[in-house]
Amino acid sequence: MKTSDIRSRFIDFFAKHGHAVVPSASLLYNDPTLLFVNAGMVPFKPYFLGDEAAPYKRAVSAQKCVRTLDIDEVGKTTRHGTFFQMLGNFAFADYFKAEAISFAWELVTGAEADGGLGFDPELVWVTALKGDQETIDLWQRVGIPRERIQERGLKDNYWHMGVPGPGGPCSEIYIDRGPAFGADGGPEADEDRFLEIWNLVFQQEELSSVRAKDDFDVLRPLPSRNIDTGAGLERIALLKQGVANMYEIDEVYPVIGKASELSGRRYGADPTDDVRFRVVADHVRSSLMLMTDGVTPGNEARGYVLRRLLRRVIRAMRLLGVTQPVLGELLPVSRDLMRASYPEIDQSWERVIASATAEEETFRRTLQSGTAMFDTAVGAMRAGDTAVLPGDKAFQLHDTFGFPIDLTMEMAAEAGLSVDRAKFDELMREQKDRARADAKAKKGGATSHEAYRSLRDAGEVPFLGYTDLDLATKVRGIVVDGRLVDRAPDGSTVELVLEETPFYAESGGQDADRGLIAGDGFSLQVIDVQRPVPGLVVHRVEVLGEVPVGATVDARVDGVARHASSQAHTATHIVHAALRELVGPTATQAGSYNKPGYLRFDFAATHGLSTQLKSEIEARANQAIIDNFQVTAQQMPLEEAKALGAMAMFGEKYPPVVRMVELAGPWSRELCGGTHVGSTAEIGVLNLLSESSIGSGVRRVEALVSTDAFAKFAAERALVTELTDTLRVQPDQLVGRIERLLTQLKDAEKQIAALNTEKLLSGAAALAEQAIDVAGVRFLGLEVPGVAGGELRTLALDLRERLGSAAGVVALVGGAEKPMAIVATNDAARGLGLRAGQLISLACSALGGKGGGKDDLAQGGGTDASAAPAALAAVRQALEPRG
């Protein structure tokens, strides 16, 4: 049974039983406690928490998920994978235990011919929370004998989110794979033989405090009981396809086949190679799905996770003997396997493969840098007569250069050395502990929304600011430090909720409105507006006077600032459309921000924009402004908007009915809740300020609009005028005049450099006499402030020659604005294993920088000029007796 068939059977079964079919959410779900969607219930979390009313009583989904906490275990077990698909059925104040158990039994054991999964009922085992007799009785009622129902404790059979919120007992379904996979005795005896495929969670309690998986406080029963289930699609597939693990199912194994073809090694021939093959298959698919949903490789958060996955693929293939680029060969295989279930892969493919290829090129260069550091460390070890690479060096290779430990161990073994693995593992544990503590702090730091939910229960706060900037309304509630209060005193800063509002809450990259809320005997300055829970607008205000709950007020938005924000927001849409038109459809939005007079727009790209292209984008944007396109907004079903080609932000959650903003028909269609001008001519003009990289695969453009753009143009015109007056030329002659001046300046600098070099070399003989003997090597280490570039290089080569034929090393630290170092070695020194490329790394490390080069001559720089003595000392120390 194909994986796609299993997915269809699950969805169809529950759709037939009245469940709304909910498409998979993006992996980049808008939740501050999560990097990625890591469970099928995540998109339904607002309904379980009561932040939003569920739009349906029953739902079914096949949700794509990513978990990376146990990334190092991938490939070693049947249970660990980074990307997986969670099938789930959900009920909100509808059915409960009896129906959930009945549905699960019917689908799991139902005949394949009737749309079921066809598992032998005699192989099904289940677990229940210890003492949950109701669940035990219900399983017996559908046909499972008592001896195949095992009771387990809170750690195994009670579910919660790890933070205060909903929780409840759960019941897991296992399939017995047979004696070949382990000992008999049910899940309690062996969870490799008895493989869990489905967990039914019976949400019935609200938890007030959570200290551990099995240590929490129950506040009260939930207002309504809910069902939340999760079935592992890949686990079901491996059982139905009769394979040994999830890496061998039909949606994954062909990647192993391609890796085997590229490496010339056979899967199944060597257990160590098999782990590497499985890592490749898992990580290629995970990387594909993350990049499809808009993640680009980077050094932080989501980008770092993706970078690590891609680099582990490259590393695993290297350990399989493949040194040429591989991602361009492997990713298309996974694309062809997954595109039927996720058509968005094809839409994003060009961007995905460009991003992956660029990352592979970057990592290949990084491997070279890391290898140089490794070689330096090996040289130092041999000099110290030790055969064990320190664990902190191995960890530095991992943390700084992305070297996995097994790659470092392989390189060490090739050099006849070993690695202090215990110390490395200790440092890795410390890093993971810090990461877990940080994640726990983020979860625990979530503000209580109880006061907000109480105000939201009174109804949604309508936003009327698209048409009304001045509105008569009432104060619904006041919140201070997370608590509801009856009134706000004079001089305080509080959060205020109105019955309806004209104030735009910060979202979609647009700043919140500012303005005034006034009533009888008080006025409130609005300094921020947010939506802490869906449907509720909260105004942060500074109070003058005293305001009670229920007071009638006049809410007035600062109209000038609103119009300026609208100009910038519409201009952001124009820049996006211009980029897609001139750069291509891969220039998809990766973030934006706009405020009065200013905008920035982040987009996916592997290369920067040329000066010519930036000019074309600015011209195209201004042409759209001149053309005076009407800006229209209309409400429509989400699927209809997508069918029209409306652009949506990755990771954003959109309701069934959305607002589509349009400029010039299909030229610019975006899902957007922001405010806009009526026509593009209201923007006036756009001045594109800059374009730069903000991370691997992401570029940023910044621009000014309207009067801010005019002011910038005026300042630039004034600068040109000042230059033309100073140089006594016409504006069209200015560039030529400056170029001639620069040429004259460079010629003068060359003449000065030549004179300086001549002066330095005239004193080189005296400098060479300062060389000292270090373990049989003539060493000359000098500080030469102010000497940099070619002068420093020429001096080093001259001094090396003056040291004669005996082993000699020259190390110089000079530089102008920043310290610069150079190391030169002669033939005799290199015969002793002293290489300039390794020695310069030691010097530059002391200077707070990096260096590199050949065995005979290498150079680099740093940031700390005061560390010049330490840099020279580091080189000298490396010359000490080498054993």
Give residue 101's domain range.
3-244
Amino acid present at 529 = V
- For residues 704 and 782, membership in a common domain is answered with no
- For residues 257 and 223, membership in a common domain is answered with no
| CATH number of the CATH domain containing 787 | 3.10.310.40
- For residues 82 and 223, membership in a common domain is answered with yes
- For residues 78 and 124, membership in a common domain is answered with yes
Closest CA to 555 of 504, 480, 489: 504
For the segment 564-588, what is each residue's pLDDT rounded down to a tens digit?
Answer: 999 999 999 999 999 999 998 888 8
- Cα(48)–Cα(42) distance, rounded to whole angstroms? 10
Structural tokens at position 691:
């374009």
pLDDT for 448: 54
- For residues 548 and 677, membership in a common domain is answered with no
Angle (nearest 5°) at CA 161 between 295 and 288: 20
Query: What residues form DSSP beta bridges with 201?
Result: 170, 228
pLDDT for 632: 95
Q: Would the pTM of this model clear 0.75, i.e. be above it?
A: no
Structural tokens at position 228:
């939340």
- For residues 278 and 421, membership in a common domain is answered with yes
Q: CA Rg, the chain, in Å?
A: 33
Q: Of 603-607, 752-756, 841-845, which has the strongest mean pLDDT?
A: 841-845
Q: Indicate if the pLDDT at residue 294 is higher than 90.
A: no
- For residues 680 and 640, membership in a common domain is answered with yes
Average pLDDT over all residues of the chain: 89
Mention every residue, 6+ apart, whose C-beta is less than 8 A from residue 412.
378, 389, 418, 419
- For residues 302 and 334, membership in a common domain is answered with yes
- For residues 161 and 261, membership in a common domain is answered with no
**Binding residue numbers for Zn(2+):** 569, 573, 672, 676
Give the count of domains, the chain. Answer: 5
Structural tokens at position 57:
């009583």
Please state which of the ranges 222-231, 344-353, 373-382, 689-698 shows the lowest mean pLDDT.
373-382
- For residues 259 and 365, membership in a common domain is answered with yes
323 lies in some domain: yes
| CATH number of the CATH domain containing 114 | 3.30.930.10
Whether 253 contacts 337, CB under 8 Å: no
- For residues 107 and 16, membership in a common domain is answered with yes
- For residues 689 and 779, membership in a common domain is answered with no
**Binding residue numbers:** 569, 573, 672, 676
Whether 220 contacts 229, CB under 8 Å: no
Provide the CB-side half-sphere exposure for 876 (13 A, CA): 15
For the segment 686-707, what is each residue's pLDDT rounded down to a tens digit?
Answer: 999 999 888 767 889 999 999 9
Inter-helix orientation angle 391-401/344-383, to 10°: 150
Quick one: average pLDDT of 460-483? 94
736 lies in some domain: no
- Cα(661)–Cα(639) distance, rounded to whole angstroms? 15
Residue finishing a domain among 556, 579, 601: 556
pLDDT for 302: 86
Mention every residue, 6+ apart, whose C-beta is less than 8 A from residue 307.
297, 298, 299, 359, 402, 696
pLDDT for 442: 42
29 lies in some domain: yes
pLDDT cut 90: percent of the chain above it: 61
For the segment 79-128, what is each residue's pLDDT rounded down to a tens digit?
Answer: 678 999 999 999 999 999 999 999 999 999 999 999 999 999 999 999 99
pLDDT for 88: 96
Residue finishing a domain among 691, 714, 737: 714
pLDDT for 725: 92
* Burial (0-12, 13-18, 19+ Cβ within 10 Å), 538: buried
Q: Indicate if the pLDDT at residue 70 is higher than 80.
A: no
Q: Of 357-366, 367-376, 441-450, 532-541, which has the strongest mean pLDDT?
A: 532-541
725 lies in some domain: no
Whether 753 contacts 791, CB under 8 Å: yes
Length of the chain measured in residues: 883
Q: Which string of DSSP letters, residue by residue, matches 123-177?
A: GEEEEEETT-HHHHHHHHHHT--GGGEEEE-HHHHEEE-SSSEEEEEEEEEEEE-
pLDDT for 446: 41
